Structure 1
Amino acid sequence: MEAKIIGDDERGMGVRVIDNNSVEHTISVGFDGEIQGHGQDGYPDKADERTHNEGEHVGHARKYAQYYVDQETDYDTLPWDIDADRFETVRQALADLSEAEIETYFGDLLEQSLSHYADDPEVDIGETTRPEALPDEMAGGEDAVFYKQEIYLDDEEKIEAVSGIGITYYVARGERKTVWCGEKPDRDPDARVELFPAPLVDPVSLRDYLVYNLRCQIRDCYLMMGLEPPEEYRVLGHGQYRFTGKYDSFDLYPPYHDTSAEIPGYSHEFRPDLPITWDELGGLVDSGSDQSIYDQIRGALFSR
């Protein structure tokens, strides 16, 4: 991706972008980041006439134009939900939280996730109860759901507040809905973490997972601008769910969400604090066993 600012007026800036297909785009970016105009001669003008890949290249050009103006000027033109630099600031703030602070900000999220394991004899959920009831209209069973929580920083770039839990679920095949519980500040968040139900039984492990989720989201931010992420963000795993379908279905992308994918330069690096050492953990695994690796190690990992 290449870009150059080619002019400005009272409404915003004009940016010329050359995408990864060498197609030239001329994009008008408002000072608030709104795309005010977009011309190009390499793809159909109507969105519904483009292939998935062509649509992605058009989207990359727009996001890269917003990113370029954001980086090259004093205007804040990048939408909060693809702002990799801001996500990194939140990631560092998350990593610095004490166990007590994790309980304060994310205790309900931990319990909401852990409540899905109430009937699993290998997972000790203690006195956990489900803070938020699942919607009655939810389709696909209790586990066809994931959770979101938004994070807000203060002027010192520390966590000031979080939202209530967002519950994302299916109401029909291909039709997804999110309902938000509780209160949240009346401004855009600095980041949003996402969590599928997981047998994480202590706050520290949850913190480590959320930190890794943001690392994957930063990867997504770069990929959605048509850029290869910096090396430290070339990781595999769930980032923003809205991009997972693209990684799973579009041949433009490898399956970055798949922790076992073989993508040169990328690896799965989630390593939470464990109640046993990694050497001890390896000693529990018998390659000749009929049990899955998960079944062999779950008793050691998911007990309090």
Structure 2
Amino acid sequence: MHQVEMHKKNGKIYAHEQDGYPDDPSKRTNREDEMVSQAREYSKWHVYREHEYDTLPPQRNPDRIAATLATIREMDDGEFERHFGTLVQQFKSYGDDTVERPIELEDAVPHNQTVIYKQDVYLDATIEDVRGYHEEIAAGVDDFATAVIGRLQEAGVFGTLGDRLSELLGNDGSADTDSQPTEFSSSDHFRQFGPDHISEPYYMYHRDDQPDRTVGRVANHDREPDTVIEMIPTAVIDSLEIFRAFLVHHLLCQIRDTYIGMGVEPPVPYRMLGTGIHKYTLKYKHFEMYPEYFDTEADIDGYVYY
């Protein structure tokens, strides 16, 4: 039993009592510490869902992530390229040495260390606008997710994903601007939310015996982003279309991770395999209590890569 008390407006936990695990985190095993963390995350979810306070961190809120997914999915190719063209070119450069890399990595990046590329997405929507949204679109997820994954399979993305992720985690560490959304879009459009601001891409990398380093982030808003895209260049990206499919898949996996992080199985439409929130990708790799949800070839009952 856990007794958790938090501020209703921001979800900050100021009291947490339980008698199952040591109070001192340094004395807990990884599993015990994770169980305490799950109880905290679930408490925030319960208050958010049942009492309608905004207690979830934005990047751990499945409704905000789903709203971001819908916004990106419904963009025409011209708007999508304006926001994500730099990252598309950066990803292309990993598979084609002739492609100029728009983001130069600093010399301090360890040799052969894969970096995590990020972008902050701010939506023109209030918490009341998005509340319950990931459940609203769940019925339509199967159809377009199947199309997304099918397109990625055709492009050979998943054939390289496992190997590239293994290398990373083993160490811990031209579009038609007038076109409509690409072919994996369903005829059933989701309710849309306009982007308020999407940052320029930046990156983060792990360092031995030092905190992770983030390079190039410009915080130009007075609030937290609704979603932080955290993508690892593990796939063969050769077009705007393939990158968009890869990004949509990534956001679906982020929704999965919000549930796993609070010790709850996600709704069936979000039980897919692949990389989502980077913090959880590392946990899945290094904590024995978790299956390797990041691995698209993992055999986990009820989970698919679609």
The bucket for the TM-score relative to the shorter chain is: 0.7 to 0.9
Equivalent positions of 1:146-157 (< 5 A) are 146-155=116-125, 157=193
Task: Tell me, yes or no, if structure 1 residue 118 matches structure 2 residue 96.
Answer: yes
Q: In the TM superposition, what are the counterparts of 1:1-304 in structure 2 within 5 Å?
A: 24-31=1-8, 32-119=10-97, 128-141=99-112, 144-155=114-125, 157-172=193-208, 176-181=212-217, 184-197=220-233, 198-269=235-306
User: In the TM superposition, what whole-angstrom CA distance separates every residue of 1:28-78 from its partner, at most 9, and x where no partner exists?
Assistant: 110211001100011111101111111111001101111111111232111
* TM-score normalised over the length of structure 2: 0.74
Structure ranking higher on relative contact order (CA contacts 8 Å, 6+ apart): 2
Identity %: 38
Does the CA contact (< 8 Å) of 2:114 and 2:232 recur in 1? no
Structure 2 match to 1:285: none
Structure whose CA Rg is larger: 1
Alignment-mate amino acid for residue 111 of structure 2? G
**Distance (Å, rounded) in 2 between the aligned partners of 1:261 and 1:154:** 37
* Higher fraction of strand: 1
Determine if contact 1:140/1:170 at 8 Å carries over to the other structure.
Answer: no
Task: Give distance in 2, aligned partners of 1:243 and 1:59.
Answer: 12
Distance across 1 between alignment mates of 2:242 and 2:83: 14
- Amino acid across the alignment from 1:203: L
Q: CA deviation at 1:180?
A: 2.4
Shift of 1:241: 1.2
TM-score normalised by length of structure 1: 0.74
Amino acid in the other structure paired with 1:137: A
| Partner SS state of residue 75, structure 1 | coil
1:225 match: secondary structure = coil
Cα distance, 1:182 vs. partner? 5.1
The alpha-carbon distance between structure 1 residues 45 and 224, as it changes in their structure 2 partners (threshold 3 A), is same
Distance in 1 (CA, whole Å) between partners of 2:271 and 2:50 is 25
SS at match of 1:33: coil
Shift of 1:136: 1.3
Cα root mean square deviation, aligned: 1.7
Counterpart code for 1:251: E
Give distance in 2, aligned partners of 1:78 and 1:195.
Answer: 22
CA distance in 1, matches of 2:252, 2:223: 23
Compare 58-67 and 110-119 and name the one that shifted more: 110-119
Counterpart of 2:121, as a letter, is I
Verify the 8 A CA contact 1:139 1:172 in the aligned structure 2. Answer: no
Q: Give, as a single letter, the amino acid of the residue that structure 1 aligns with 2:85.
A: G
Shifted more, 165-174 versus 144-153: the winner is 165-174
Which residues of structure 2 form unaligned runs of 5+?
Answer: 126-191
Distance 1:39 1:182 in 2: 38
SS at match of 2:53: coil
- CA shift, 1:181, in A, is 4.4
Deviations 1:239-273 (A, max 9, x none): 1111112111212111101110000100113xxxx
| Contact 1:153/1:160, CA 8 A, preserved across alignment | yes
Quote the Cα distance in structure 2 between the aligned partners of 1:233 and 1:103. 26
Structure 1 residue runs of 5 or longer lacking an equivalent are 1-23, 120-124, 270-304
Q: CA offsets per residue over residues 186-234 of structure 1, 9 Å max, x none?
A: 3211111122223312212211111110100110000001100000110
Number of matched residues?
A: 238
Which residue identity lines up with residue 134 of structure 1 in the other structure?
L
In the TM superposition, what is the alpha-carbon distance from 1:117 to its structure 2 partner? 2.6
Q: Please say if residues 165 and 182 of structure 1, whose CA atoms lie closer than 8 Å, have aligned partners that are also in contact.
A: no
